[in-house]
Amino acid sequence: MTPESSPFRPGQPVPIEFFVGRSPEIERLRGMVNASTQGRFKIGFVSGERGIGKSSLAAFVRHLVEHDHDVAGCHVFLGGVQDLREMLRRTFDRILKESIDKPWHQQLITLFGDRVSKVGLFGVTLELNLEERDMLAMERHFVPSMRRLLESLGEHKKSLFLILDDINGLAGSESFANWLKSTVDEIATSQQEMRLCILVVGLEERRQELIEKQSSLARVFELIEIAPWSDDEVRWFYSDSFRAGGAEVSQEGLDSLARFAGGLPVLAHEIGDAVWRTARGPTIEKNEISEGISTAAEVIGRKLLNPQIFSAIRSKSYHSIFRKMADEPKTHFRRAELRELLTDAEKKSLDNFLRRMTSLGALEKDPEVRGGYRFPNLLHALYFWMESQRRRREK
Ligand SMILES: Nc1ncnc2c1ncn2[C@@H]1O[C@H](COP(=O)(O)OP(=O)(O)OP(=O)(O)O)[C@@H](O)[C@H]1O
Ligand SMILES: [Mg+2]
């Protein structure tokens, strides 16, 4: 079927009506935002592996609280940002830009004064031009600056829900870690109300890295960990999405899709999209699902894996090892188990295979099991499995 009619959105934020699952996380976040509307400052950390749906969850909750709780939302994307000042600059710039069609816009313009300029053809967008001393002031006086900003929002909205997304580049910054801690302390000791809920979004290993920099941060955040979707959630996702596109999949087809997507939304969209393109009519056939999954493996490998890992996995010398790797998705395995399944010739290349995959970071040694290996994340585990199935089908 045509790519334009595909209900899947690989690589893009999910439209609100296709958002699946995450009810407990949504409720917790709503509770936090609600508390902030009563003047209690809240700060949370949404963690989970790549492609699990962190940004989508944050965006979904923002949509809900803007509509149901009379809250102003602001989603700041900090991908690539490595220092605190740039983070602060982007945050205030985003708050300003997102206010353009809101009733508190004029108050913000007044607040930022001559630091705001109109840019772009026809002056359609605003730019916040901050000088070095402004940035320094923002860093040192973040809490009072934020209070002023919240005051100008106050007559229109009950609180601000500020999403600091993709802080991965900042996690190694000591000044960011210390700033976060002292900001939270300053608010807590001031005894004044603060109608603000901050949501920091990043990988779990980055949260750990932040804590290493500033150990008290461990107890500062309310932690919201995102787990993979359950198989039922993946099946709902597929049956709703195909139905929305006017197509249908059998129960068996849904089971097979759920097995390959393994609860990882980013894979679910890629696989769904590939199956959609492969299908010749609105009733999705079994062989179209298998064909779609093979195509998806190619796309996913190129898009989501490190290119060196991808090319090592595709190396001809490992095809036959992959063919024997697994009957089902596994997160860890033992060398001896795999070795047993191999021919003499394959056994000879096994150690080379394990060494290469480990040195590239596609596999890690399992410290708790002798001769044990594990995948660093779900994406790699599922990809190895897809590749293994693909090689078998080729045979
Ligand atoms: N609850 C959901 N329902 C439907 N689709 C979702 C859901 N969560 C995520 N997705 C889809 O999965 C993909 C990855 O989601 P998202 O970008 O939110 O993940 P992420 O955890 O923020 O990833 P990264 O770590 O790369 O920033 C997107 O295509 C998105 O549309
Ligand atoms: Mg994200």
- The string of DSSP letters for 322-348 reads HHHS-SS--SEEEHHHHHHTS-HHHHH
Which one of 3.40.50.300, 3.40.50.720, 3.80.30.20, 3.40.640.10 gives the CATH number of domain 22-225?
Answer: 3.40.50.300
pLDDT average, residue stretch 64-89:
94
Is residue 99 over pLDDT 70?
yes
| 121 has a pLDDT exceeding 70 | no
- pLDDT at residue 393 is higher than 90: no
Q: Is the pLDDT of residue 186 over 90?
A: yes
Q: Report CA(30)–ligand 1 centroid distance (Å).
A: 19
* Ligand 1 atom with minimal separation from the 12 CA: 29
Q: Going by CA atoms, what residue is nearest to atom 16 of ligand 1?
A: 53
8-state DSSP, 171:
T
- Residue (of 310, 256, 299, 249) closest to 274 by Cα position: 299
Q: What is the mean pLDDT of residues 262-266?
A: 94
CA separation for the pair 242, 282 (Å, rounded): 9
C-alpha to C-alpha distance for 26 and 367, rounded to whole angstroms: 35
Query: How many percent of the chain have pLDDT more than 70?
Result: 99
Q: Tell which atom from ligand 1 comes closest to the C-alpha of 269.
A: 29
Average pLDDT on 197-209 reads 95
* Residue among 264, 266, 377 whose CB has most ligand 1 atoms within 8 A, to mutate: 266
Cβ(292) – ligand 1 distance below 6 Å:
no
Domain with CATH 3.40.50.300 in the chain: 22-225
Rounded to whole angstroms, the Cα distance separating 390 from 395 reads 9
Give 138-158 pLDDT, tens digit per residue. Answer: 888 999 999 999 998 888 899
- What pLDDT, on a 0 to 100 scale, did the predictor assign at position 395? 72
The bound ligand whose nearest atom lies closest to the alpha carbon of 75 is 2
**Among the ranges given (17-26, 123-132, 290-299), the one the predictor scored with the smallest mean pLDDT:** 123-132
CB of 75 closer than 6 A to ligand 1?
no
pLDDT at 227 > cutoff 90: yes
Query: Which atom of ligand 1 is the closest one to the Cα of 226?
Result: 21
What confidence tier does 177 reach under pLDDT thresholds 50, 70, 90? very high
Region of poorest pLDDT, from 98-107, 156-165, 271-280, 339-348: 98-107
- The tokens of 10 are what? 């690989």
- pLDDT recorded at residue 150: 93
Beta carbons within 10 angstroms of residue 156's beta carbon: 13
| 367-374 contacts, C-beta under 8 A, 24 or more apart | 369/332, 369/334, 371/334, 371/335, 371/336, 372/332, 372/333, 372/334, 372/335, 373/332, 373/333, 373/334, 373/335, 374/331, 374/332, 374/333
Q: What is the pLDDT of residue 379?
A: 93
For residue 17, the 8-state DSSP code is G
**Cα of 197 from ligand 2 centre, angstroms:** 19
* For residue 179, pLDDT beyond 90: yes
The protein residue whose alpha carbon is closest to atom 23 in ligand 1 is 51
Distance CA(39)–CA(177), nearest Å, equals 24
Task: Give yes or no for residue 12 CB within 6 A of ligand 1.
Answer: yes
pLDDT band at 123 (very low <50, low <70, confident <90, very high): low
Q: Taking the model in full, what pTM does it have?
A: 0.91
CA of 209 to the centre of ligand 1 (A): 23
* Percent of residues, the chain, with pLDDT higher than 90: 75
pLDDT tens track for 335-377:
999 999 999 999 999 999 999 999 999 999 999 999 999 999 9
Range with lowest mean pLDDT among 78-87, 121-130, 286-295: 121-130
Angstrom distance (rounded) from CA 395 to CA 389: 10
